[in-house]
Amino acid sequence: MALSRFLTLFLIHIALLLGFCFAEDPFVFYNFEVIAINKQFPGPTINATTNYNVVVNVRNKLDESLLMHWSGIQQRRSSWQDGLPGTNCPIPPKWNWTYQFQVKDQIGSFFYFPSLHFQRAAGGFGGFIINNRNIIPIPFNTPDGDITILIGDWYTRNHSGKLIAFECTIWNVSASGARPNPQGSFRYGSINVTEIYVLKNKPPVTINGKKRTTLNGISFVNPATPIRLADQFKVKGVYKLDFPKRPLTGPPKMETSIINGTYRGFMEVILQNNDTKVQTYHMSGYAFFVVGMDYGEWSENSRGTYNKWDGIARSTIQVYPGAWTAILISLDNVGVWNLRTENLDSWYLGQETYVRIVNPEATNKTELPVPDNALYCGALSKLQKPQDINLATSITGGSKLFSTMLMIASALLFLSR
């Protein structure tokens, strides 16, 4: 009797796992304890392979809220995991939260960092390596070694001076699951552009007595309720879908104004830097094609210089002072994606926006559902259940999947005896 009850529980958990759409691919598990002692810097390197499911359980041991952003990782259908204030509610102090996403169709070296409160400047970032799968060859010999070098600006945090560090354990549960992955070339140069944005930044300005930075005259204000969460729960007034296609001429203003991206559209974005220093722009969860850059002011004629054949796909690009860079973005990934400068000071002062891409026909095929462990804040705060922060173990709390994996591991152990 006891045995059959146990098996029922086991089967329920297996069913849950199989119900998960990319369960056939291997998993890597990481446990981060984010602490504020100068102990281990930078954070542990996440080592995954294309198509792996990455599960990172984050225990926020800081005395302030936390979000982890996975820079350069393409979040296919899962802006829920992107770890930015526009996409996720912050993890409260002492809470636990489990990120889970699949690294799909990309290889390379990336990094993660905490995206709130200037924490990135205090350290607390680490490398994120995605290896190629054996069946997808890379065009060079296997390197003799892999060295992760992270270079950051060093700021002294005036309100606490803390350095954020990680304690981490890794649990690698590798199942087999290799299958061919067609990564054919993408003829971006022959696709019709459906929307055009010229995004111009200028030196910082003063708005309402505060130093702010802008894009097209808008200084972005983070919403109290994450954008896509607000959509799902029909919360009105969280943001405006009116980001200007050209620089505004009036006085700069502070707004939660985002770009309305048409699902399956193809967007041309010209980043015009009229500040005096290099800006590095990044689009989160995404990759775009860099088709051109030059000094001076971009004009329609500049298109004649575009590379329409073999531009590189990437998530980050420089824009030189007094210069422009043009990128093309395929709006095929449903969600809300941060488009920002990576220069930390300019970013935090408002030089960013989000691109919202929604499939009018809602389906799990184009966007994963709100995760079970989603945190709620802002207008949705009342939906948030309290978390027992006194739990001794750090692998409980957020993720049903994580406990499912533990359950399966123990069940398999049990069955194999």
Q: Which residues bind Cu ion (CB under 5 A)?
A: 71, 284
CB of residue 335 to Cu ion, shortest distance in Å? 12
Cα-Cα end-to-end distance for the chain: 18
CB of residue 299 to Cu ion, shortest distance in Å? 30
Pairing assessment for the beta strands 68-71 and 108-114 based on DSSP bridges: antiparallel
Q: Between residues 235 and 269, which has the closer beta carbon with respect to Cu ion?
A: 269
Q: Between residues 266 and 286, which has the closer beta carbon with respect to Cu ion?
A: 286
- Give the Cα separation of 389 and 115 in Å (integer): 22
Q: Between residues 71 and 279, which has the closer beta carbon with respect to Cu ion?
A: 71
CB of residue 191 to Cu ion, shortest distance in Å? 24
Cis peptide before 85 (omega within 30 of 0): no
Strand order of the β-sheet with 195-201 is 195-201, 266-273, 323-330, 288-295, 313-314
For 8, the token pair is: 């029922």
Contact 288, 326 (CB under 8 A): no
Q: Between residues 280 and 387, which has the closer beta carbon with respect to Cu ion?
A: 280
CB of residue 352 to Cu ion, shortest distance in Å? 11
Q: Between residues 284 and 343, which has the closer beta carbon with respect to Cu ion?
A: 284
- Give the Cα separation of 41 and 63 in Å (integer): 19
- Give the Cα separation of 216 and 219 in Å (integer): 8
Q: Between residues 71 and 225, which has the closer beta carbon with respect to Cu ion?
A: 71
CB of residue 201 to Cu ion, shortest distance in Å? 18
Q: Between residues 14 and 344, which has the closer beta carbon with respect to Cu ion?
A: 344
C-alpha distances in Å from residue 290, one per residue of 31, 70, 75, 287, 300: 36, 21, 19, 10, 17
DSSP per-residue letters across 211-266: EE--BTTEEE---SS-HHHHHHTT--SS-BS---SS---S--EEE-B-EEEETT-E
| Helix ranges, 328-399 (H) | 344-348
Q: Between residues 71 and 96, which has the closer beta carbon with respect to Cu ion?
A: 71
Nearest alpha carbon to residue 335 among 362, 374, 373, 372: 362
Nearest alpha carbon to residue 338 among 18, 19, 54, 85: 85
Backbone phi, then psi, for 292, in 5-degree steps?
-170, 155
CB of residue 69 to Cu ion, shortest distance in Å? 6
CB of residue 285 to Cu ion, shortest distance in Å? 6
Backbone phi, then psi, for 284, in 5-degree steps?
-80, 145
CB of residue 75 to Cu ion, shortest distance in Å? 9
CB of residue 215 to Cu ion, shortest distance in Å? 17
Q: Between residues 71 and 273, which has the closer beta carbon with respect to Cu ion?
A: 71
Place of tokens 């970013």: 347
CB of residue 354 to Cu ion, shortest distance in Å? 12
Strand order of the β-sheet with 352-358 is 259-262, 352-358, 335-341, 279-283, 316-319
Residue nearest to Cu ion (CB): 284
Q: Between residues 78 and 284, which has the closer beta carbon with respect to Cu ion?
A: 284
- Give the Cα separation of 135 and 294 in Å (integer): 39
